[in-house]
Amino acid sequence: MRTGASLGAAPYSSEKSPAWQTGKLIMRNLINRLLGRTTRKSAPEAPRQATSQADVPLTPPLPNAPVPVHRFAPEVAIPARSFEAPRPCVSFIIIVYKMPEQAEKTLYSLSAQYQRGVTEQDYEVVVVENSSSAVLGEKRACQYGDNVRYFYREETLPTPVHAVNFGAAQAAGTHISIMVDGARMLSPAVVSYTLAAARLHPKTVVAVPGYHLGPTLQQRSMLEGYCEEVEAELLASINWPEDGYRLFEISCLSGTSGSGYFKPIGESNCLCVPGPLWRELGGFDPAFTETGGGQVNLDFYKRAVERQDTLLVILIGEGSFHQFHGGITTGTQGKARVKSMDDHFNQYAALRGGPYRSPTKRPVYLGSLPDSAMKFMHHGTTQAMKVLED
């Protein structure tokens, strides 16, 4: 099994043309900007002078007074396994189309070698690949564990909806987790916390917040030179997959989670529901025929969350991280992107009677927050307080 920064690496040209050198400079500036943002430390504050009676210590310094401790230990807490739950408990459905290198990283991030506190018996990975000119294939997919099953489909429509429903029909787990975009790497305790969340309620909807690798949303950063090579250097800079939580250091919130997870999010690209609930909702609606499925993932999230009998659980310390691969939402630009998004929005409005609105059900937050994700906690609370203070 391949590990480390070389995992799924694409071959690079060795030619050093002027255009290549210019592109390389742009990439390096992007990386430095991102890493500078995530590693820069502020200067130490000068001792603050007491300005009021409330600032004056109630007691003078005492020799054996408790010592203040300002940081947690770095290890992220992992929930205990349930030995009473059926095996496998969760089936992760991964949809792959024309993204073999990115899919390999996704599958490694779902392997029991990477995921903490679980074994291959606790969950399964169902890979459904739609036909394309760049195929992952069964051999490459199944190298990441004995709990991986692979299905190849000839697909003539530009949507993953049928592949998702096909994959869910193959699921052996009691719960179904949909990853409609196979280019989404996961943090190391997504499986553990998904299993824990599933035990909280008969109809738990488990949502993993979404992020983009890179300094800004990829549809923006690509205009500044962001590409697969930049991404490979970013991953190498944090020694991925040595510590998967360092992905937070080189990422930003995705568009549908952009206001933080203390305001309603629009979707989850790693969304888990009980099998019976999946079937009650009818899976992904095949009426969504736009490229990439349009807003079908948002639609299913909304329909599941807005049920009165469901409990929404957001895994606050975990994430799904989008890799750049030239997809419909993140890889197109200009008039083509505007038309594509307009078509997506119009189809949703035609099917549901109006534009999409995120569900407002108040969630349960579950997880152990790593230091690397603290900046997103701060962003989320800041955004939520702005609304409360208006």
pTM: 0.87
- Write the pLDDT tens digit of every residue in 229-243: 999 999 999 999 999
In a domain, 350, yes or no: yes
In a domain, 96, yes or no: yes
In a domain, 259, yes or no: yes
**C-alpha–C-alpha distance, residues 305 and 55, integer Å:** 46
Q: What is the pLDDT at residue 26?
A: 64
**C-alpha–C-alpha distance, residues 206 and 269, integer Å:** 11
Kindly report the CATH number assigned to the domain that includes residue 159: 3.90.550.10
Q: What is the pLDDT at residue 329?
A: 58
In a domain, 81, yes or no: no
Dump the DSSP string for 308-349: TT-EEEEETT--EEEPPS--HHHH--HHHHHHHHHHHHHHHH
Total count of residues recorded for the chain = 390
Q: What are phi and psi of 60, to 5 degrees?
A: -70, 165
- Write the pLDDT tens digit of every residue in 297-338: 999 999 999 999 999 999 999 999 999 987 655 556 678 878
Q: What are phi and psi of 204, to 5 degrees?
A: -80, 135
- Write the pLDDT tens digit of every residue in 58-103: 888 899 999 999 999 999 999 988 877 778 999 999 999 999 999 9
List the alpha helices (DSSP H) in 3-49: 18-39
CA geometry: angle at 272 spanning 269 and 277, to 5°? 125
Q: Which residues of 360-385 are buried (b: 16+ CB within 10 A; e: fewer)?
A: eeebeebbbbbebbeebeebbeeeee
| Choice between 327 and 146, residue whose per-residue pLDDT is larger | 146
The gap between the terminal CA atoms of the chain, to the nearest Å, is 53
Tokens representing 314 are 């957001």
Helix axis angle, 296-305 relative to 334-352, nearest 10°? Answer: 40
Average pLDDT over residues 268-281: 98
Amino acid identity for residue 356 in this structure: Y
Whether the link from the prior residue into 241 is cis, omega within 30° of 0, is yes
Q: What is the pLDDT at residue 357?
A: 97
> What residues are paired with 127 via a beta bridge?
94, 150
In a domain, 19, yes or no: no
Report which DSSP code applies to 306. T
Tokens representing 195 are 């299993």
Number of domains, the chain: 1
Asked if the model's pLDDT at residue 104 lies above 60, the reply is: yes
In a domain, 31, yes or no: no
Closest by Cα among 98, 76, 89 to 175: 89
In a domain, 253, yes or no: yes
Tokens representing 284 are 């992904």
User: Position of tokens 């200067």?
Assistant: 43
Query: Which of 53-57, 119-123, 132-136 shows the lowest mean pLDDT across its residues?
Result: 53-57
Q: What domain range includes position 142?
A: 90-389
Helix axis angle, 18-39 relative to 228-237, nearest 10°? Answer: 40
- Long-range contacts formed by 82-88: CB under 8 A, 24+ apart: 82/195, 82/199, 85/122, 85/174, 85/195, 85/198, 85/199, 86/174, 87/121, 87/122, 88/121, 88/122, 88/123, 88/124, 88/147, 88/172, 88/173
CB burial class (10 A; 0-12, 13-18, 19+) of residue 78?
middle
Q: What is the pLDDT at residue 23?
A: 52
In a domain, 62, yes or no: no
Asked if the model's pLDDT at residue 15 lies above 50, the reply is: no
How many angstroms separate the Cα of 319 from the Cα of each of 92, 103, 137, 252, 376? 15, 16, 26, 11, 11
Amino acid identity for residue 195 in this structure: L
